[in-house]
Amino acid sequence: MLLINALSIARMTTQDFIMESKDIPFGSIYWFTYAGISCFLVLFAGIMSGLTLGLMSLGLVELEILQRSGTPTEKKQAAVIFPVVKKQHQLLVTLLLCNACAMEALPIYLDKIFHPFLAVVLSVTFVLAFGEVIPQAICTRYGLAVGANFVWLVRILMIICYPISYPIGKVLDCVLGHNDALFRRAQIKALVSIHGKEAGKGGELTHDETTIINGALDLTEKTAEEAMTPIESTFSLDVNSKLDWEAIGKILARGHSRVPVYSGNPKNVIGLLLVKSLLTVRAETETPVSAVSIRRIPRVPADMPLYDILNEFQKGSSHMAAVVKSKGKTKNLPVSSPGEKLECLSNLSTPLLEKTLDENSESIVLDIDVPRLSVSIDKQTSFQQNYGLPLSSEDIEDGEVVGIITLEDVFEELLQEEIVDETDEYVDVHNRIRVAAAAAASSVARGPSARRLTAQKGIATQTKQGSAPKKSAENDPSSIKEPLLGKKR
């Protein structure tokens, strides 16, 4: 009897614990209605929580990248989400407001059908499992797809919550500003390095690709003075010298396609000589350098960015420039009226030749007078702000030439590697690091060439005096008795 009474008391206590209110009995239509509303609130809170994490983790830059380079599906999804994510703070307030309303309303409905203690336990359990953990885990992995599928719901909620979310979002915009999420130059370089194969994190970029990308980013901060060849290490010719056998031998041994020409002082560079223009010059005539075609060489400031120099080289007029250190400071040229244009110099103190003149021109160019270029006031101000260079042509033209820069020098800074051809003696001119092949072959390859030139000079001298050289049977091709190729029998 005591056992039966104990079971009855336990049954009554359990019923009171599960269902305290007598108005909504278990199994009635109201009970199922409240239970359904409770399940809907749990799912709604889970969707809001997942969308908060998924949409807010998608930056505007990432969405723009997906629109340009993603798959067709990703491009479509990113285009749908972008207008919504663009209103970041308003979207954030809307999602958090809806999530808070759902989670606060859930215990109210559970309290109608369960004991308050059990309602709290069920609310915490279901909200944690189905309202936080699972939705956020899914949206972390598939945030773009989930956001695109629920963007219609987000738009409706943003309209409903507009009176509250819009003012709060504007306040956050004014206080915190917009999160543009643009990468700085150093961050882009680090991002590229992480995506390289050498990082070991599954990236597909090779070492050459990462090196060139980093070199292109660093090229903006480098100037002509950092990439030039010092004038002391530059091979050049005096304008008053003669193109005899010795001079031509030195030019051929150097292997350059362009040679700077100076007058008196090697730092007084007045132009450049195209080696291919010497094809018609005979060494025995000892033609003066001033008698051949000397092209005008551009003069650039030492602190001119390499990208500006590369842009000038791309015009095709010249692939070599003289680097000048200006002596004067920035001068403000007089302006008579705001709309008046100034007569000043552009980036190059000596302008590049027009494209209509090719490098095969036979005219002798020794006059390095600089024609004036018409530059507006806005361009003058921008030039001064960007470079802080003097705009007076005399300041740059009278400056001291400290080095020579070529298109190859700019490419070496871009590749971040030395470009060594078959005629280079040094890998690094500044540190005097010799090329191994050039060091080994200097006495073998260049020695015979100098001896041949000396021999040819002696032959030419004898011919000029009227005494014909004697043909050696050893060196005369006509004296070969045996044919080079034997006849097939």
Write the DSSP assignment of 140-192 as a string of letters: HHSHHHHHHHTHHHHHHHHHHTHHHHHHHHHHHHHHH-----PPPHHHHHHHH
In the predicted model, is pLDDT for residue 382 greater than 80? Answer: no
Instruction: Give this prediction's pTM.
Output: 0.56
What string of DSSP letters covers 47-68?
Answer: HHHHHHHHHHTS-HHHHHHHHH
Cα-only R_g, the chain: 41
- Between 443 and 135, whose confidence is greater? 135
- Return d(Cα 269, Cα 263) in angstroms, integer: 7
pLDDT-derived band of residue 121, with 50, 70 and 90 as boundaries?
confident
Lowest mean pLDDT among 25-39, 67-81, 366-380, 396-410: 366-380
pLDDT tens, position by position, 304-338: 999 999 998 888 778 899 999 866 544 443 333 33
Residue among 267, 227, 291, 308 at smallest CA distance from 402: 267
pLDDT of residue 77: 92
The CATH number of the structural domain formed by 222-331+339-406 is 3.10.580.10
pLDDT of residue 426: 54
pLDDT of residue 228: 92
User: 467's torsion region: left (phi>0), alpha (psi -120 to 50) or beta?
Assistant: beta
State the DSSP code for 236.
Answer: -
Query: How much is the average pLDDT of 130-140?
Result: 89
- Residue count (the chain): 489
Neighbours of 228 (CB within 10 A): 25
Residue 444 tokens read as 């073998």
* Residue extents of the structural domains in the chain: 2-176, 185-220, 222-331+339-406
pLDDT of residue 203: 81
Query: How much is the average pLDDT of 471-488?
Result: 41
SS3 assignment, position 150: coil
**How do beta strands 258-263 and 242-243 pair?**
unpaired
pLDDT of residue 127: 83
SS3 assignment, position 215: helix
pLDDT of residue 352: 34
pLDDT of residue 423: 58
State the DSSP code for 383.
Answer: H
pLDDT of residue 129: 86
In the predicted model, is pLDDT for residue 343 greater than 70? Answer: no
pLDDT of residue 13: 46
In sign, the C-alpha dihedral spanning 65, 66, 68, 70 is positive
What string of DSSP letters covers 18-57?
Answer: H---SSS-TTSHHHHHHHHHHHHHHHHHHHHHHHHHHHHT
pLDDT of residue 57: 87
Residue among 168, 219, 173, 216 at smallest CA distance from 192: 216
Which positions ≥6 away from 348 have C-beta within 8 Å? 298, 299, 300, 312, 321
Mean pLDDT of the chain: 73
pLDDT tens, position by position, 454-465: 444 444 444 444
H or E element that contains 216? helix 207-218
In the predicted model, is pLDDT for residue 366 greater than 90? Answer: no
Helix axes 29-56, 134-141, angle to 10 degrees: 40
Lowest mean pLDDT among 17-26, 39-48, 302-311: 17-26
pLDDT tens, position by position, 398-429: 678 889 999 999 999 988 888 876 655 555 55
Which contacts of 8-15 are long-range, i.e. CB under 8 A and separated by 24 or more positions? none
Residue 190 tokens read as 């680090």
SS3 assignment, position 443: helix
Q: What is the 3-state secondary structure (H, E, C) of 417-442?
A: CCCCCCCCCEEECCCCEECHHHHHHH
H or E element that contains 400? strand 400-406
**How do beta strands 237-238 and 258-263 pair?**
parallel
